[in-house]
Structure 1
């Protein structure tokens, strides 16, 4: 299987280390473990908030594809807008988590962030095209955005499930 190998390869992109370390350091300095940091990172629910919050833009964008397939242009356009408006909350909570990742996790996290920023850009372009009446161009941008969301989601899943980012941070761990 090629996908697991690609995901593991993302862990070795050490050219990102200088940039990701600086970003993590600045984020830690900005948040400084205060109440905002705790809120953004999910202390209020006992686990990272980011995986919960990302369901809104991802869900909206996936549903927009379904409405495109059904021919409901207006519903698709509105769902793209909902995704674009809620994605910044996912980015902010993700960056708060990023500030606490290990070096290898930050490598994957940076690629995850990049893929999702590409997705957001594609969906903004799609919404703009649709608003201006170019539905076919909007569908093309949405398809590219959905591909980027899929790549970002695969990297995010790898970050959480294979690399354990954020696992058991707010609690003791599973009881046996």
Structure 2
């Protein structure tokens, strides 16, 4: 399949891998990640060593599940479900914080392509969490319809972020399995010869 025949979302994601416009974001995140991983025991925990598996993909299910459940109640639950929908939304915002921390730990292990796509993934996640937070405040202030609309917009943003997260995990093999299990076999990642501007070595 040629580059132009690939689905548009995949072409856009490959463009993120190749663009240097995300490098300033990478440069800002790098010191935060370095400080986060200074302590060996904390680093092992965030990389999922106690369970032998990357922790971040597991963690993402919690905020996403809470937010999607909230939206389902908003749309189908009727008046009796409003309190539950709002609580689920707020819990999702709270759960997004530790999820982001585990994501930053994985991001620190990646090559240049991983860190560029991961930076875009992180920016979208921050935007989605902020929108869900705004939605929660709007509901608290009585603007329920507006709050639901804001949640729907946030859902679109977090879906786009999820696509990038899937690309990181499936296409770019991030994080490497050795982060959580030192005995795991090496994984070779090939960006492919028809991805313009991408160095498969990540150098």
TM over 0.5: yes
Q: Where has structure 1 moved over 6 Å in runs of 4 or more?
A: none
Report Cα offsets for 1:40-87 as digits up to 9, x if no partner.
111111121111111100000011111011122212111101101111
Q: 2 CA distance for matches of 1:130 and 1:173? A: 49
CA 1:22–1:135 in structure 2 vs 1: closer, same or farther (change >3 Å)?
A: closer
- How many residue pairs get aligned? The number is 174
Shift of 1:24: 2.2
Q: Which residue is 1:116 aligned to?
A: 125
Shift of 1:103: 0.8
CA contact (8 A) 1:40 1:96 kept: yes
Shift of 1:98: 1.4
Report Cα offsets for 1:100-141 as digits up to 9, x if no partner.
111110000000000000000000000001111111011111
Q: Which residue is 1:45 aligned to?
A: 51
Normalising by structure 2, report the TM-score. 0.80
Structure (1/2) with the larger helix percentage: 1
CA 1:106–1:135 in structure 2 vs 1: closer, same or farther (change >3 Å)?
A: same
Normalising by structure 1, report the TM-score. 0.92
Shift of 1:30: 4.3
Q: Which has the larger radius of gyration?
A: 2
Q: 2 CA distance for matches of 1:7 and 1:25? A: 25
1:82 equivalent in alignment to 2:91: yes
Q: 2 CA distance for matches of 1:89 and 1:132? A: 27
1:132 equivalent in alignment to 2:141: yes
1:173 equivalent in alignment to 2:179: no
CA 1:111–1:19 in structure 2 vs 1: closer, same or farther (change >3 Å)?
A: closer
